[in-house]
Homo-oligomer: A and B are copies of this chain.
Amino acid sequence: MNLPPLIQTFVLHFGEMGSRWGINRTVGQIYALLYLSDQPLNADQIVESLGFSRSNVAMGLKELASMNLVMLKHKPDDRKDYFDTHEDIWDIVRNLVEARRKREVEPTLSMLRSIILEQPVTDVEKHAQKKMHEMHDLIEMLTRWYKEMQRLETERLVRFLNMGAKIYDFFQFKNKTDHPIETTSESD
């Protein structure tokens, strides 16, 4: 690896963190490199920069593509595949969260859906099923909320996030006065 120190630190960090983020070192480093690069890179350039085997890089890129974290691009008169990350960092967040939801949440949700349909026999099972139901409802609630956020375009999402504290006050206010809040025509 022979990268400018600033870039190297970042790339190595992403490699190390990879395992905590459910991706491996190779994938982490490749993503970091592409994120910092001011132009799309091809697999050979990545091999050159990071020192992994060609096949390992190919697999890493495939995984990143499956998570919609990299985009395939082409240059005129060049048959090589070039890879790039999204321009808008919020698109990165959206794709990242979606990929993790699919991997980490969706399987559990469907397991819960099927299991709460079954008939509990003993009291122990009854209690267990109640807890599972509780978890199921919570995940569904968070998922519903997440899907709504996912639809917000960047500008509104940012504004919404920056409102955080004020929204908190807003609910405090609502709570104290007990007046329903008119936002659109719809009410609670």
Q: How far is the CA of A124 from the CA of B11 in the complex (A)?
A: 14
A175 at the interface (CB under 8 A from B): yes
Q: How far is the CA of A142 from the CA of B161 in the complex (A)?
A: 7
Q: How far is the CA of A37 from the CA of B118 in the complex (A)?
A: 18
Given contacts A36-B131, A160-B171, A164-B144, contact A6 B149 (CB under 8 A): no
**Which of A40-48, A51-59, A100-108 lies at the interface with chain B?**
A100-108
Contact check: which of B127, B170, B175, B186 meets A169 at CB < 8 Å? B186
Interface residues contributed by chain A, number (CB under 8 Å): 65
Given contacts A6-B118, A149-B164, A164-B145, contact A21 B93 (CB under 8 A): no
Contact check: which of B104, B158, B173 meets A184 at CB < 8 Å? B173
Closest 4 CB pairs of A and B: A36-B128, A170-B183, A148-B164, A169-B184
